Structure 1
Amino acid sequence: MATTNELQIIRSNPFNDGLGAFRRLFEVTRVDLGIAVPSGAVQAVFSTAVTTVAKNLVLDLILALQSQPAARILPSRTSRGTLLGDLSAYVTLIDSNNFDIKSAIPLVERVVNNAPDLEIWSAVVDLVALTSPKQLTPPTAFEKAVFDTPLRSSSASQRGIEQTHDEVDQRILEELTGRVYYDVGEFFERYFEGKVWTNNAKATYENSRHQYAEGRWSGWPEPSAQGSFFEWFMKFQDTVLSGLDRRYYTSANKVLRGSEADRKLDI
């Protein structure tokens, strides 16, 4: 199902006669093959035509779709790019020995029968999703660490003079290994589109994005020691996060028992 944003893209970039040349080509092919009845013509053409002719028909359709402005804007359902990239990958599949010509029939039928634009793009999405390699689990940001025995690491175990960057960073890396993912498909649609918190999330984003430039937050303390960071964060909260019905506070700066270092700031 298309999202609200995708529906707007499709409405703003109609096919018009962008697929007219393909429809005329298909009609010529149908007549040349002696298929008289238009009803069920796509099934008949694909069953009668030699493989090369059928493949060329599908290829011509995909190339026509690639030239459409919407294809260059609609998001990919299989990667982080656009639908144009998915169609390009599909062209490679057509040229391979693994191409199943029957998989393209639903899309060709909608185009030949002048289906609404939304139905055609839905068929395109279904087709590339059906023929794309399945990635059951998003890739992890860190490769799975290999240990001699099972390990559930915690950076909280670091105390005293061993609390150096090298030691702590390694513990944090172990905590993140296998638990952090990237390139998660449809993350925004699932968690931020059409939710009760959508407007608040957008407002917070708009308030905060002007505070971030050239890879840094405005006013970020240097060095970012505990006290200076806490002062910066409280100001950030008062300005950017002021619209939220909640507030962050810090715990007391206690000393960890058995540690030579002060407790880290808890927020």
Structure 2
Amino acid sequence: MRDETQAKIIEDNPIGNGLDAFRTSFQSICKGASISLIPNALEQLEREDIQNLILDLLSALRNLSAVRSLPSKTGRGTLRSDLLRLELSLDSDDFDYDRVKPLLKSTLTSDPDTLIWNHAYNAITESTPPPRLIASSLQQTPWLRNTSSFANSSEHRKYVDDVLKEELGSLYVGLRNFHGAYFGGVAGLDMASQAFFEQCVQGSDPLFEAGWKGWPKDANRDGVLSWFADFSEKLAAFADGHKSIPTHQHRRRPLAKPNKPIDGSVGKRKMDVGIVDDPQAGKNSRCHWSQILVPGELKSNPSADKAPEAWLDLGRYAREVLAAQDTRRFVLGFTICGALMRVWMFDRLGGIASEQFNINDDGLQFVSTILGFLWMSEEQLGFDPTITTANGERFIEIHRNGSTERIIIDKVMQRAPCIAGRATTCWKAHPEGQPETPLVIKDSWQYPERDEEGELLREVTDKGVVNVARYYHHQTVQIHGEDDDIRNSVRRGLDITQAANY
């Protein structure tokens, strides 16, 4: 760094003992691995230990005062943002740890501050993956850097939110045909919604008359929650009695419980309202994220219908749902800010939303939305239809060597807790009737421009490479005979360039 301004920033903000905790961590790792503290000790560490060291160092660097003033390599923002992106890229399959080792070594040997910062800039330049693209490629290619590589095991909200904002990127709202795309296929929805709404406007004491009866004028949260709970009970009773629906849909209930954490997340997460897979759900019920089908967020102020507030809160819930439900491809949700409602869909590219509508002006649209959530099939809610359950077993079917094989899923081994990205899930499995033959199913969203991982694994298996998993089969997931992708399969062809905020 030859820039005089940068040199002055470094001089005015010395590192001092700001990296001592990292050096102590290094000594502890070496001691645990029975490695002497010698100059080449780094070369003797396992990859996982090196990754943990890099995480510790980047976290320490981001807490130094200089990093908030040193400029970003991109020309926008500060070096702190660059270091955060570098930290998130560690989970990339093609991350080159050797390019960060000069920074590690320089820090461990307590080199001058200028040299340490030079190595930090070099590591960012060489190691950080290119920024995500926009427009057509954004619609197709999931983002690599995401909350699945979040290093803080406590997952405090203040730490998660910054990462989640960057992961989600731009959220596109105001897509005109959103409701038709996601609710149009729900059998009998239009007729049933009209029938229920007609009940609401009839009688001497109608439930809807120039707005919903009981709706709090100031849209205060407690009042709206009480109103929503009462409305939901009436709608759920109507939904159960209106037509014959599958058993799993009878289990669904709208739920309002703002002050109780939902079980199943690392950090405490509270959700205002939603649709839950629990027929006994009530105000005092305890629910798990694995039961949340449709998360919702309430705000009393209509102006909260924007990215830093209601949108991000709902995104946080969608992340928990996707992490807890290993067959979920996408998550539908909703926000109500004042009386203004939007319906959302979060997938492996981020989030899109419907046009805003006032539930007191368009009561029928509100009824259709909530009833639609209750009546949707599991596939319409975002579950993977290629993973089937029968006789208490989950399985997939593959076409291998000219015949169909059934692969029984035993358990989840790992699922990346993120929204946008490859969202890799690994299951332990076995061929039907062959429990003695263990298999691992790896499921992830792929980058179309990259080589298929299955082909690479088949090649190394054919060559007899040792210490590598043996190839069994690979294929692209298909939904109704078409390759599963974001733009056409998940987003139903909705075009983000037509969004109100594009």
Per the normalisation by structure 1, the TM-score is: 0.47
The structure with more helix, counted as a fraction of residues = 1
Per the normalisation by structure 2, the TM-score is: 0.25
The structure with more strand, counted as a fraction of residues = 2
Which structure is larger by alpha-carbon Rg, 1 or 2? 1
